[in-house]
Every structure is written in C-alpha cells, then in structure tokens.
C-alpha cells in the first residue's frame, strides 16, 4: 500500500504571516494595519497573476481575523483557530473554487449559511477563488449578499481576470492588485527553502528556475520540487533543470541564432529537427528563443558582460534587426496556439526575417548610390532620334516616330499604352521591334497579342502611309540595341542650367540634342 504522506514544497513553505509574503508589501502591510486598527471591510477583491500570493494572503487574513493571540496585526499560527485554518478544519473559514462551483445553487447555499453566527471564531471568512468564473445568475445572487452583509462575515474574492467581474460586484469590494514578484525576491526565498531543506542547487540552475517562474512564487517552488523529485536526490544541476523543463541550453540557442544571423536556413532546420527529436516542445523553443534574444539585445545595448557567445551574436546584427526579430517571435508564439502545425510558423518567420534583411540591404545600397550623386536634381527633356529608321519611314519627316505612335495608342487603347511604355523600340531589317526587359514578360506577352500588334501596325500605316511589320520580344531575343524608353529622362546636375561635361556626356549617351530645360 502506498502512503500519501508527502506534502508539496509550495504548501510546506506557504507564507503564514503578513511579513512572510514576498513581493506584495504594499498589500500585506495595508491589510495588517486594517486588522490591527479594526478597520476591516466586508468585501475584498484580490486580483493578479497566478502564484503571486492571493489565496495565501486570504488565508493569512482569515487567521488574523480569528487568531486568539494576535500580536501587532499578525496571526500567531499556534492557537487552535490558526492551526484549524492551516489544517483545513476550521468551521468558520471557507474556500470556494468558482471554477468548479460556478452555479447559482452554490451561491444560494452560501447565502443561507452566512446568516448564522460563527461556530468557532469571531468572523466567518468566505474566500471565492477564480470568482470571474461564476455565472451571471450566481453573480446576481452574490450581489444581494454583498449589498447587505452580516457584520460577522468577510468576503475575499480572488481572480486572475478582474475585467470579467461585473461592475456592480467590483464597486462593493476593496480592491488590491497583486503584481509579479521580482526575480531577486523569488531567488532569495528559494535560497531560504534550499537551506532549510538541506538541498544543493547549482547557481545557474537556480537562475533558470527563477526565470521560468515568470514572477510566480508558487511556480518557482513547484519547479524546484519537481526537480528534486525527478532526480531522486537532494542535488540539482542546470542540465537536470533544463531536462525537466524541456528548455534549450545556451549552446542550442546559440546554434539557432547563429544560423539565423548568418542566413543559413539549412542549419537552422537541422538543429530544430534534433531538438524536436529529443522531445523538446516547439512552443517552448520559441519562448526560449524570445528570452535569449532579449538577453542579446540587453547585451548589445549595455555592452557589458563576459559571455563570449552572447558578445559574438550581439555583434552580428544591428539593433533594428534584433528588435524586428523579437517582434516576429512574440507574434509567432501567439499564432502557434491557433495553428495545428506550429513548427511551420517558426521556420517561416526565420526565413522571412532573412529575406527582409536582404531587401533592406538592397535599399541601403541604392540609397548609398543616390547619396553619391549631386543633391540638386534637374530634368532635361532630350529629344530622341530613332535609330535605324528604314527608308519607307524616313520620308515622314518626323524624328519622334515612336513617341507619336505611343501618343496615338494612348488615345485608342490605354491598357496597351501602359504595357508599351515598359519597353523600348528599334528597327532592324525593316521590322519594328518592341523590346522588353526579361522581368517584363507579362507586358511583352500582352503586346504580342494579335489584336495589339494589328493596332500598332494600323497606327504606323495611318500616320506614315507605309506598312510596317511590328513584333514584340524580350531582351536577348533580338540583335539590335534598343532605343531608350520614350519618357522623361532624369539627369542630376549641380545647377539649374546644364553645362560642361555632364551635359555633353548625356547627349553623347542618348545621341540627342537639348530641346528645353525645366526647373
């Protein structure tokens, strides 16, 4: 037969007095003063994150209100009333779990019992945990009791989600907001427990426990308890804590970020495969990455520390990149709870961050090139001469042949015009070619449609009284050097008037002459 005699550490080391509560001095001292000065109200609301001392302070308050040897507002924890509450046998102290007793029947039953005077102590104390879980009907029933409470009753409502509690209830309670406990406070309390339990825990293992508790004392003590139970000994190492929590160690996190910063997705995915094969949880991996990246950012900002791996990673990218990646990880962690294949989210965000970095580099390079040029930009309209004009078209007397055609197309078919301006025009062997860059294949294919080529040939024939064959090709598929696009050409010069080498070079490149200068 198995005897269930073991008591969890978080219950053994639960604070028994106001002064023992860690990290909530602004609340514990106020309540202690209220008891000492006999200024206790009939209803309290304790709200805040889990594991921060809400129900512990509620129990301390219950003991203080019924202690037979109260001293300076503190319960003695030795009288029969204090011991009865600690052991759960005191008849005037009630803890109700609203998550499992959320209906109107339970609240009605409580309403009937509050009418009776206390059996053992001076005050009946009702603690309703997770009170936000009550139904609307149950809240309405509770409201009637709070409106006209008996003098011998105190209600303590505890919740992690106060926004779900009706305002009519909130307005009748004295509210205290619990906050997450500072890591220093949690660590000092753990050290005290470790010493009194004759345990031996590595310093870095203790630091990891404190971080993973995320401000919750109960979680921290539970992790410590779990570690000792799992190892079966009174010693606990960092590796053992990492194994219990399923977290990545520094070497593993370094590998992921090094691969990410170097743009090596193959190495990243290989590392993820290995960690998942070890039983790591993908959501925990993202949490570990978020925490580690935060440390990298802090290292980058402060420039202090002796961690060589952290120093190396912090120098691989700039702060803007780190902040963007941190934002992606936080958003990715949220998305994982609504997606059946969370690994894909992590892989996608790491890949997209690398692609985003490449695009950013291109922009920076372009901006640097622009910065090297003169800062004053002037526009010069250059009248272009169409090269290789065949004899049958030269007789038209117009050197702006292609521009004239484009203007007419714009009047007749604006969509075709939008495609044509992405290309350039040239003649070869009596054939007119509309030539497009390789990345404008869509535009080239639209122009190649029979009805569009027919329209171009028709416009040529109508304007110049000659038939001209028109074709549409991609660059590299034709022999001729295309004429520059017929559009306003930007050329940056130092002053409002073009002169000297810059102008001569522009005219030489485009085989052109100056028509007009516009400011």
Rounded distance, CA 418 to CA 410, Å? Answer: 8
Per DSSP, the three-state class of 233 is coil
Show the tokens assigned to 311.
């120093």
Residue 505: the pLDDT is 52
For residues 354, 355, 356, 359, the Cα torsion angle rounded to the nearest 10 degrees is 130
Q: What is the pLDDT of residues 459-503, one digit of tens each?
A: 888 877 777 788 888 886 554 444 444 343 333 334 444 445 545
83 Cα distance to chain centroid: 47
Rounded distance, CA 478 to CA 296, Å? Answer: 54
CATH level 2 (architecture), domain 9-177: 3-Layer(aba) Sandwich (3.40)
Q: Is 11 exposed, middle or buried (0-12, 13-18, 19+ CB in 10 A)?
A: exposed
Adjacent-strand bridge partners of 202: none
Show the tokens assigned to 455.
């329209």
Q: What is the pLDDT of residues 49-64, one digit of tens each?
A: 988 999 999 999 999 9
Positions in the chain short of pLDDT 50: 1-3, 364, 375-391, 393-399, 479-499, 502, 509-510, 519
| Phi, then psi, of 170 in degrees rounded to 5 | -60, -40
The domain ranges of the chain are 9-177, 183-245, 250-365, 381-507
Residue 430: the pLDDT is 67
Rounded distance, CA 467 to CA 217, Å? Answer: 89
Residue 394: the pLDDT is 43
Residue 358: the pLDDT is 53
How, if at all, do strands 431-436 and 469-474 pair? parallel
Rounded distance, CA 295 to CA 315, Å? Answer: 13
Helices 282-302, 319-336: inter-axial angle, 10-degree rounding: 160
Residue 69: the pLDDT is 92
Adjacent-strand bridge partners of 434: 425, 472
Which residue has 């006999």 as its token pair?
Answer: 38
| Phi, then psi, of 101 in degrees rounded to 5 | -130, 70
Rounded distance, CA 115 to CA 119, Å? Answer: 12
Q: How many CB atoms lie within 10 A of CB 27?
A: 22
Rounded distance, CA 171 to CA 43, Å? Answer: 10
Residue 63: the pLDDT is 94
Strands annotated E in 475-512: 490-492
Fold that domain 381-507 belongs to in CATH: GMP Synthetase; Chain A, domain 3 (3.30.300)
Determine if the pTM surpasses 0.85.
no
Q: What phi-psi label fits residue 495: left (phi over 0), alpha (psi between -120 and 50 degrees) or beta?
A: beta
Q: What is the pLDDT of residues 278-294, one digit of tens each?
A: 888 888 888 888 988 99
Residue 486: the pLDDT is 39
Adjacent-strand bridge partners of 129: 97, 158
| Cβ atoms of residues 23 and 187 within 8 Å | no
131 Cα distance to chain centroid: 30
Q: Does domain 183-245 have CATH number 1.10.30.50?
A: no
CATH level 2 (architecture), domain 250-365: Up-down Bundle (1.20)
How, if at all, do strands 43-47 and 93-97 pair? unpaired
Which residue has 């919740």 as its token pair?
Answer: 159
| Cβ atoms of residues 478 and 435 within 8 Å | yes
| Cβ atoms of residues 353 and 328 within 8 Å | yes
Question: In whole angstroms, how large is the CA radius of gyration of the chain?
Answer: 39
């Amino acid at each position: 037969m198995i005897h269930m005699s073991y008591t969890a550490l978080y219950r053994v080391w639960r604070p028994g007095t106001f002064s023992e509560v860690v990290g909530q001095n602004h609340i514990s001292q106020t309540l202690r003063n209220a008891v000492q000065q006999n200024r206790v109200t009939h209803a309290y609301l304790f709200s805040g994150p889990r594991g921060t001392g809400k129900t512990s302070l509620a129990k301390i308050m219950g003991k203080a209100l019924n202690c037979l040897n109260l001293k300076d507002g503190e319960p003695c924890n030795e009288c029969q009333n204090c011991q009865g509450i600690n052991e759960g046998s005191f008849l005037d102290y009630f803890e109700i779990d609203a998550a499992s007793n959320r209906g109107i029947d339970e609240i009605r039953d409580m309403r009937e019992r509050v009418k009776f005077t206390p059996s053992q102590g001076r005050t009946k104390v009702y603690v309703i945990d997770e009170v936000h879980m009550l139904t609307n009907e149950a809240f309405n029933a509770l409201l009637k009791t709070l409106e006209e409470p008996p003098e011998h009753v105190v209600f303590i409502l505890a919740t992690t989600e106060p926004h779900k509690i009706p305002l009519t209830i909130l307005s009748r309670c004295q509210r205290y907001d619990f906050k997450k406990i500072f890591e220093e406070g949690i660590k000092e309390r753990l050290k005290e427990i470790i010493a009194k339990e004759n345990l031996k825990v590595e310093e870095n293992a203790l630091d990891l426990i404190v971080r993973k508790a995320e401000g919750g004392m109960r979680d921290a003590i539970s992790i410590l308890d779990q570690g000792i139970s799992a190892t079966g000994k009174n010693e606990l190492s960092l590796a053992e804590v990492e194994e219990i929590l399923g977290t990545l160690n520094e070497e593993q996190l370094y590998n992921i970020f090094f691969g990410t910063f170097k743009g090596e997705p193959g190495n990243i995915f290989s590392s993820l495969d290995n960690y998942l094969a070890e039983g790591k949880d993908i959501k925990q991996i993202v949490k570990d990455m978020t925490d580690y990246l935060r440390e990298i950012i802090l290292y980058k900002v402060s420039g202090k520390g002796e961690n060589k791996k952290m120093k190396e990673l912090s120098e691989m990218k700039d702060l803007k990149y780190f902040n963007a990646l941190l934002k992606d990880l936080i958003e990715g962690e949220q998305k994982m709870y609504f997606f059946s294949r969370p690994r894909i989210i992590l892989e996608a965000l790491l890949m997209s961050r690398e692609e985003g970095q490449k695009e950013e580099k291109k922009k920076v390079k372009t901006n640097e090139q622009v910065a090297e040029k003169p800062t004053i930009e002037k526009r010069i309209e250059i009248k272009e001469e169409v090269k290789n004009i065949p004899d049958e078209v030269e007789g038209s007397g117009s050197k702006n042949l292609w521009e004239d055609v484009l203007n007419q197309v714009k009047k007749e078919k604006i969509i075709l015009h939008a495609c044509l301006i992405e290309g350039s025009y040239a003649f070869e062997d009596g054939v007119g070619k509309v030539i497009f860059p390789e990345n404008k294949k869509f535009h080239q294919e639209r122009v190649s449609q029979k009805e569009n080529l027919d329209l171009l040939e028709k416009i040529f024939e109508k304007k110049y009284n000659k038939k001209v064959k028109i074709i549409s090709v991609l660059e590299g598929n034709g022999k001729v050097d295309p004429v520059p696009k017929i559009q306003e050409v930007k050329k940056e010069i130092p002053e409002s008037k073009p002169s000297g080498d810059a102008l001569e070079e522009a005219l030489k490149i485009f085989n052109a002459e100056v028509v007009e200068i516009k400011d």
